[in-house]
Amino acid sequence: MARALDEARAAAARGETPVGAVVTRDGAVIAAAGNRTRELNDPTAHAEILAIRAACVAVGSERLVGCDLHVTLEPCPMCAGAISFARIRRLYFGAEDPKGGAVTSGVRLYGQPTCHHAPEVYPGIGETESAELLRAFFRARRDPMSGV
Amino acid sequence: MARALDEARAAAARGETPVGAVVTRDGAVIAAAGNRTRELNDPTAHAEILAIRAACVAVGSERLVGCDLHVTLEPCPMCAGAISFARIRRLYFGAEDPKGGAVTSGVRLYGQPTCHHAPEVYPGIGETESAELLRAFFRARRDPMSGV
């Protein structure tokens, strides 16, 4: 999760919502990404989607069997769906997102009968740092002088 | 929807699940795509995601304000989420997908309090042709001689 937090900090430095994600297999990082929706003009360019796409290129498959995803914020419905399609084994996430999440919040996608693959879910990993990054980012956007 | 059906047929010819999508604005097509998950080794490469990403490039924005999406199959949770983030105005879709859909089936994402933008939804447009394309594709996969 330390590497995912680094990606989140790098996203904040680019003016993007600070969320970072890492895909690992057997403890080794095979892809890492931060949110780039603004830079790429791409509403699908969440950290999880970019990390999954890069990992699929790295392994040469659309399925990441035996791979785990570490992300600083609870995934939204779009990313939770992508995680399921990619057959991610374990999902570790930091802060819960009651307003936009879809794992332990909102539609709780992995508990639905229409979900065909659910990862094991480990919430609250690196939660304090993940949440503080997001709070500081949005505080600074509301009051540009607060981060000075 | 005729153009989306063309994209679905082209996807089937490539050995991909036959789903096609088109983004329009003021009646003009600004992006069109078929499913390419296998070709690209990308579990996120559903027709809707590819069409939205291409449309965002075309308009130079991560928001497709005033744009409509036409897709041959009811969107899954991943695509329904992307449609919401992209601020699609109207969603027209063909066949319902009780096993994997997230609009009129499953989690019914646009009726959830955690959904921040819901398009207007018009189901059943081109439903018969859309569903028959999918049925023929999966029939041929089960019995490779049936399509001969």
How buried is residue B131: exposed, middle or buried, by Cβ count under 10 Å (0-12/13-18/19+)?
middle
Look at B80 and A80 and tell me if their CB atoms are within 8 Å.
Answer: no
Q: Which of A77-81, B127-131, B144-148 has the lowest mean pLDDT?
A: B144-148
B76 annotated as a binding-site residue: yes
In this prediction, residues A66-86 reach a mean pLDDT of: 98
In angstroms and rounded to an integer, the radius of gyration of the C-alpha atoms of chain A is: 15
Q: In what order do the strands lie in the sheet with A120-122?
A: A28-34, A20-25, A67-73, A90-95, A120-122
Q: What percent of chain A has pLDDT over 90?
A: 93
Query: What percentage of chain A reaches a pLDDT higher than 70?
Result: 97
Average pLDDT in the B10-37 region?
Answer: 97
pLDDT of residue A144: 66
**pTM value?**
0.94
User: Mean pLDDT for chain B?
Assistant: 95
Q: Give A141's pLDDT tier (boundaries 50, 70, 90).
A: confident
Tell me if B51 sits within 8 A of B74, measured CB to CB.
Answer: no
Q: How many percent of chain B have pLDDT more than 90?
A: 93
φ/ψ of residue B62, rounded to 5: -85, 5
CB-based contact B37:B43 (threshold 8 Å): yes
Active site residue A62: no
Q: What is the pLDDT of residues A37-69, one digit of tens each?
A: 999 999 999 999 999 999 999 999 999 999 999
Is it the case that residue B148 has pLDDT exceeding 50? no
Select the residue of B44, B63, B80 nearest A44 (Cβ to Cβ). B44
Q: What pLDDT is stored for residue B135 in this prediction?
A: 95
| Catalytic-role residue among B7, B48, B96, B129 | B48
| Res A148 pLDDT > 60 | no
Instruction: Retrieve residue A104's tokens.
Output: 């332990």
Cβ pair B82:A114 closer than 8 A: no
Q: B139 — phi, psi (to 5°)? A: -65, -45
The answer to whether B73 and B130 are in contact (CB under 8 A) is yes
Residue burial B6-38, b: 16+ Cβ < 10 Å; e: rest = ebbbbbbeeebbbbbbbbbbeeeebbbbbbbbb
pLDDT, tens digit, 9 for 90 and up, residues A2-24: 999 999 999 999 999 999 999 99
Taking residues B111-116, what's their average pLDDT? 92
Residue A97 confidence (pLDDT) = 96
Going by C-alpha positions, the residue among A136, A59, A75, A67 that lies closest to residue A108 is A75
Chain A residues within 8 Å of chain B (Cβ atoms): 37-38, 40-45, 49, 52-53, 56-57, 60-63, 76-82, 85-86, 98-102, 105-107, 109, 112, 114, 116
What is the band of B16 on the pLDDT scale with cuts at 50, 70, 90?
very high
Q: Are A48 and A102 in contact (CB under 8 A)?
A: no
Query: Are A120 and A137 spatial neighbours (Cβ–Cβ below 8 Å)?
Result: no
User: What does pLDDT average to over chain A?
Assistant: 95
Q: What is the mean pLDDT of residues A105-129?
A: 95
- pLDDT (tens digit per residue) in B61-102: 999 999 999 999 999 999 999 999 999 999 999 999 999 999
